[in-house]
């Protein structure tokens, strides 16, 4: 049935108000030769023909379901339980927006509350917000929040040079016009911590770092706090199923990309940035925070407890200009964590760890490649290659149908001809053995 929003009488009234007699008169200013230009379009297709053509186009794509993938560097191929897509496909969730009226938004508010609660359990932090756009913007917001905690007196941000390069680029973009000094320093947390001074708002480190190394952050928080600064830790949420949480080594803010938690790769997005901090800094946190309460009749209910953004309070009082969050992606993460549970997440992390170490050991046996056996890592590791990584990746795909690793030389000159390989629970032993054989075959 056609949807006609206006009656004939209403259209006549609007034309009269506009001072014209017909709709055509509204386009009188458009030259007549330009009103109905000829369009060189192909013949119309039936629905069946359109679907067939779209399937043919989709078949040209290279995807991680049909090709072994060893590419990570911030976006990861993990198993997504069917329940995740089922929940986020429910119309009451995928069409919902900001829950301004709690009395009709209890489902959305509870989902956010559950997400926040599980993120606190995962990171060990006191409070979590309802997510940012992605891990990069979450890190930038952490830097801004650190400046606010210091009441604007500290305008320097020290960030480890082995934090994700794209995150650092986003941080610099955020800092434009804010009179902040961004200093990228050091290859170890200790090097970066030594650079913290009385002008520093925070130190940002990542573990596992961009090269996959698991860092020892013992004592770093004490050194940073002694200078009056905050410690911000970027982390992989799956790794927290096996490694110590950021709170355990004194982090003030923990953040990262939540994509591994039930969100597919999806051509680069949308993703979600998780963000958690200590209770004492909650009022400086950007985004929204859902709380649990009771109504006048004593029934459990959920409300927006803190929304320190410009849409809710005076602009000059806002902590951020972010006016929404990746709610549907946060729901996917909450569903994933609930479905997996503590044991399931630990099992996924363990599979990633052991499969990656098996791959590293096997590649390390190849004469033409080198993997440093002394470097601790979670599921990503660096391989020194006998020729440019770009050429290796091309050979891997063209000859073996394998999606290779990340070219570290694109971001770090000292890592020229070094490949960052990633292994998750989705990589079978046969795929790993196939990668090893392919690397050996194309080494010359």
pLDDT (mean) for 72-84: 97
Q: What percent of the chain has pLDDT over 70?
A: 95
Q: What's the pLDDT score for residue 322?
A: 66
Both structure tokens of 2: 């056609």
Place of tokens 């690793």: 405
Q: What's the pLDDT score for residue 314?
A: 65
**327-364 and 429-441 helices, crossing angle to 10°:** 50
Q: What pLDDT digit, counting tens, does each position of 116-128 carry? A: 999 999 999 999 9
Tell me how far apart the alpha carbons of residues 153 and 192 are, in angstroms, rounded to a whole number: 21
Q: Which of 346, 423, 399, 328 is nearest to 69 (CA)?
A: 423
Find all residues with CB under 8 Å of 8, minimum gap 6, and list them. none
Residue that wins the pLDDT comparison between 429 and 103: 429
Q: What pLDDT digit, counting tens, does each position of 284-295 carry? A: 888 788 999 998
Tell me how far apart the alpha carbons of residues 165 and 188 are, in angstroms, rounded to a whole number: 16
Q: What pLDDT digit, counting tens, does each position of 391-402 carry? A: 999 999 999 999
State the pairing for strand pair 273-277/253-257: antiparallel
Give yes or no for a cis peptide into 5 (omega within 30° of 0): no
H or E segment at 255? strand 253-257
Give the CA distances from residue 151 to residues 126, 173, 282, in Å, rounded to whole numbers and listed in that order. Answer: 22, 21, 14
DSSP conformational letter for 245: P
Q: What is the SS3 assignment for 265?
A: coil
Q: What's the pLDDT score for residue 155?
A: 95
DSSP conformational letter for 271: -
pLDDT for 311 beyond 60: no
Q: Which of 233, 219, 223 is nearest to 195 (CA)?
A: 223
Domain 343-441 has CATH 3.30.565.10: no
Q: What is the SS3 assignment for 392?
A: helix
pLDDT for 91 beyond 90: no
Q: Are 263 and 334 in contact (CB under 8 A)?
A: no
Q: Are 383 and 370 in contact (CB under 8 A)?
A: yes
pLDDT (mean) for 26-43: 89
Q: Can you point out the beta strands (E) in 288-368?
A: 288-294, 300-307
Find all residues with CB under 8 Å of 360, minimum gap 6, and list them. 371, 377, 381, 383, 421
pLDDT (mean) for 128-143: 93
Q: What is the number of other CB atoms lying within 10 angstroms of the CB of residue 278?
A: 17
Q: Are 229 and 220 in contact (CB under 8 A)?
A: no
H or E segment at 383? strand 380-384
Give the CA distances from residue 158 to residues 177, 222, 274, 315, 422, in Å, rounded to whole numbers and listed in that order. Answer: 18, 16, 21, 28, 28
Q: What's the pLDDT score for residue 186?
A: 83
pLDDT (mean) for 58-65: 90
All CATH 3.40.640.10 domain ranges of the chain, comma separated, are 82-337
Q: What is the SS3 assignment for 324?
A: coil
CATH classification (class only), 82-337: alpha beta
Q: What's the pLDDT score for residue 250?
A: 97
Average pLDDT in the chain:
93
DSSP H helical ranges for 59-180: 82-88, 91-94, 106-123, 135-149, 165-175
Q: Are 439 and 364 in contact (CB under 8 A)?
A: no
pLDDT for 3 beyond 80: no
Both structure tokens of 374: 């002394």
């Amino acid at each position: 049935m056609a949807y006609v929003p206006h009656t004939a009488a209403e259209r006549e009234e609007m034309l009269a108000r506009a001072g014209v007699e017909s709709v055509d008169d509204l386009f009188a200013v458009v030259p007549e030769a330009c009103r109905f230009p000829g369009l060189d379009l192909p013949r119309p297709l039936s629905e069946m023909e359109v679907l067939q053509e779209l399937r043919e186009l989709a078949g040209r794509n290279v995807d991680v379901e049909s090709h072994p993938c060893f590419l990570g560097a911030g976006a990861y191929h993990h198993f997504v339980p069917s329940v995740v897509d089922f929940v986020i496909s429910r119309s009451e969730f995928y069409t919902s927006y900001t829950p301004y009226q709690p009395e009709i938004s209890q489902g959305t508010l509870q989902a956010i509350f559950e997400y926040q609660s599980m993120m606190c359990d995962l990171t060990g932090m006191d409070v979590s917000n309802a997510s940012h756009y992605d891990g990069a913007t979450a890190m930038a917001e952490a830097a801004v929040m650190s400046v606010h905690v210091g009441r604007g007196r500290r305008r320097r941000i020290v960030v480890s040079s082995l934090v994700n390069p794209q995150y650092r680029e986003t941080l610099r973009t955020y800092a434009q016009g804010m009179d902040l000094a961004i200093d990228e320093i050091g290859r170890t947390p200790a090097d970066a911590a030594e650079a913290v001074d009385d002008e520093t708002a925070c130190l940002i480190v990542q573990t596992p770092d961009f090269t996959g190394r698991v860092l020892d952050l013992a004592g770093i928080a004490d050194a940073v706090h002694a200078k009056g600064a905050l410690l911000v830790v970027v982390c992989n949420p799956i790794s927290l199923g096996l490694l110590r949480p950021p709170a355990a080594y004194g982090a003030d803010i923990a953040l990262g990309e939540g994509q591994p938690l039930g969100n597919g790769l999806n051509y680069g997005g949308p993703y979600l940035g998780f963000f958690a901090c200590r209770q004492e800094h909650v009022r400086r946190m950007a985004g929204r925070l859902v709380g649990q309460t009771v109504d006048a009749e004593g029934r459990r209910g959920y409300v927006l407890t803190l929304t320190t953004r410009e849409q809710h309070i005076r602009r000059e009082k806002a902590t951020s200009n972010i006016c929404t969050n990746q709610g549907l992606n946060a729901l996917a993460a909450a569903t994933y964590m609930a479905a997996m549970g503590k044991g399931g997440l630990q099992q996924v992390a363990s599979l990633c760890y052991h499969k990656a170490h098996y791959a590293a050991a096997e590649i390390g046996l190849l004469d033409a490649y080198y993997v440093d056996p002394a470097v601790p890592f979670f599921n990503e590791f660096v391989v020194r290659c006998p020729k440019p990584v770009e050429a290796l990746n091309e050979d891997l795909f063209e000859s073996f149908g394998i999606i290779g690793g990340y070219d570290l030389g694109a971001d770090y000159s000292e890592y020229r001809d070094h490949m960052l390989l990633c292994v998750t629970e989705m990589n079978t032993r046969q795929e790993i053995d196939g990668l090893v054989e392919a690397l050996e075959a194309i080494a010359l």
